[in-house]
């Protein structure tokens, strides 16, 4: 196992003092369940810790980068950066899948390429780095592998955000129904129509917005649902 760990350390840009932490971060529960895990543990607790560390580091970076931004804007970009979709891409970029320790069944079912599995392992690696080298090491890793998406965004950092995509990522992460959109009204003359679009998540979260096109109205409706989700989460904190 030592050679693969060394190979991954080069891609991570971090060398572990305690390589057992990295091995555990790579160990899926299917491997542990089959008694194949070194040390017997899987990466689920590390994933839990890594999720919290990632959220803190990303939040701090966004506040520093955009000190004038509103809370809603910061929350939307944070949701994108910590989403399973983005973390999966980060994991693919460093080739994390080839280093995972999987059970035989998960291996046969293509676990090395599974989006959720890779995103979770990436969070576990963040936690392993934190436990091995401290928060500064974790911040450096996140800055190198997660935050570059901010610099790569076209145009204004926040204005280019696709609210519908962010809403879908948020609801997916929370285990909620897929957002639905419907045009519920039109008004105005043919050359200057105004559309009203309703966005729904389940039976209780509903947002409506109007715009000069269905696309613009649906983006605004999605943004209002994101604001509702933020309010719900704050109320539960």
DSSP per position, 73-130? HHHHHHHHHTSHHHHHHHHHHTTGGGG-B--HHHHHTTGGG-HHHHHHHHHHHHHHHH
* Catalytic-role residue among 51, 132, 169, 223: 51
Domain with CATH 1.10.1520.10 in the chain: 2-152
* Catalytic-role residue among 42, 47, 106, 123: 123
Q: What is the pTM of this model?
A: 0.67
Question: pLDDT, tens digit, for every residue of 172-198?
Answer: 888 889 999 999 999 988 877 899 999
pLDDT at position 155, please? 41
Q: Is 123 a catalytic residue?
A: yes
| Residues found in the chain | 237
Residue 234 has pLDDT above 80, yes or no: no
pLDDT at position 199, please? 93
Domain with CATH 3.30.160.20 in the chain: 163-236
Residue among 86, 217, 95, 94 at smallest CA distance from 153? 86
Q: How far apart are CA 176 and CA 77, in angstroms?
A: 19
Contact 8, 91 (CB under 8 A): no
- Which is the CATH superfamily of the domain at 2-152? Ribonuclease III domain (1.10.1520.10)
Contact 53, 127 (CB under 8 A): yes
Cα angle 77, 78, 82 (rounded to 5 degrees) comes to: 120
Q: How far apart are CA 149 and CA 53, in angstroms?
A: 18
Residue 2 has pLDDT above 60, yes or no: no
Residue among 212, 149, 159, 209 at smallest CA distance from 182? 209
- Give the pLDDT band (50/70/90) at residue 94: very high
The packing angle between helices 44-65 and 71-81, to 10°, is: 140
**Burial group, residue 79, by CB count within 10 angstroms (0-12, 13-18, 19+):** buried
pLDDT at position 154, please? 43
- Give the pLDDT band (50/70/90) at residue 51: very high
pLDDT at position 157, please? 47
Residue 142 has pLDDT above 70, yes or no: yes
pLDDT at position 69, please? 74
The CATH number, out of the four listed (3.90.1150.10, 3.40.50.300, 3.40.718.10, 3.30.160.20), of the domain defined by the range 163-236: 3.30.160.20
């Amino acid at each position: 196992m030592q050679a693969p760990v060394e190979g991954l350390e080069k891609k991570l840009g971090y060398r572990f003092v305690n390589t057992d932490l990295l091995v555990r971060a790579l160990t899926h529960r299917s491997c542990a369940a089959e008694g194949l895990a070194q040390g017997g543990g899987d990466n689920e607790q590390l994933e839990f810790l890594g999720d919290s560390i990632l959220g803190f580091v990303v939040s701090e970076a966004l506040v520093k980068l955009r000190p004038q931004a509103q809370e809603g804007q910061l929350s939307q970009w944070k949701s994108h950066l910590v989403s399973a979709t983005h973390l999966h891409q980060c994991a693919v970029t460093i080739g994390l899948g080839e280093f995972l320790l999987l059970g035989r069944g998960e291996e046969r079912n293509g676990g090395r390429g599974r989006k959720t599995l890779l995103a979770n392992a990436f969070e576990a690696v963040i936690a392993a780095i934190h436990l091995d080298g401290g928060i500064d090491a974790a911040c450096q890793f996140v800055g190198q592998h997660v935050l570059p998406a901010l610099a790569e965004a076209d145009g204004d950092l926040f204005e280019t955000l696709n609210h519908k995509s962010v809403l879908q990522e948020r609801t997916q992460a929370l285990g909620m129904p897929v957002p639905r959109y419907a045009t519920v009204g039109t008004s105005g003359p043919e050359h200057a129509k105004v559309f009203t679009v309703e966005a729904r998540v389940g039976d209780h979260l509903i947002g409506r917005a109007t715009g000069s096109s269905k696309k613009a109205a649906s983006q605004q409706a999605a943004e209002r649902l994101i604001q509702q989700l933020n309010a719900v989460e704050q109320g539960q904190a």
